[in-house]
Structure 1
Amino acid sequence: MGFFEFLVAVFLFKTIGEVLKEHIKKKPAPGSVSSDQVELLREEIRDLGMRLHHIEEERDFYKDLLAAPRGSSTPRSAD
């Protein structure tokens, strides 16, 4: 390897190092989310869980309704 190739390799490694250093600086630190944002995420997850439960109940109801023999009706409660 000649002197010119050596200088190109050093410059290349230096440039790659600087780019990586800047890229690492720009990444947010782990755990940099505020407690308000965490609480909002918890509420959203709780809400989505309730919606999913409701949708699963509807799915099971319609699945049972479709599986019922024709001519039979499901009894309704008199609440």
Structure 2
Amino acid sequence: MLAQRTLKAMTRAVGVGLHGGQRVELTLRPAAPDTGIVFRRVDLAQPVDIQVNALWITDTRMATTLSAGGDPGAPKV
């Protein structure tokens, strides 16, 4: 098993989305041990955290889609 790692400091990136062509902002933040990778959707009225979990994959056409709780109708990344 690989040793856990985290980022030393927060970093940001801005660009154009690959499939939608819309402006995208990404912020990467250090996390506590055993947190794993978590995506936070802040573009929604209520921000949603989506944990990286193979059981939460809901689509694999053109990209891997993760949905909150593995529910295809829930917010996704």
- So what's the TM-score if we normalise by structure 1? 0.17
Larger strand percent: 2
* Bigger radius of gyration: 1
- So what's the TM-score if we normalise by structure 2? 0.17
Larger helix percent: 1
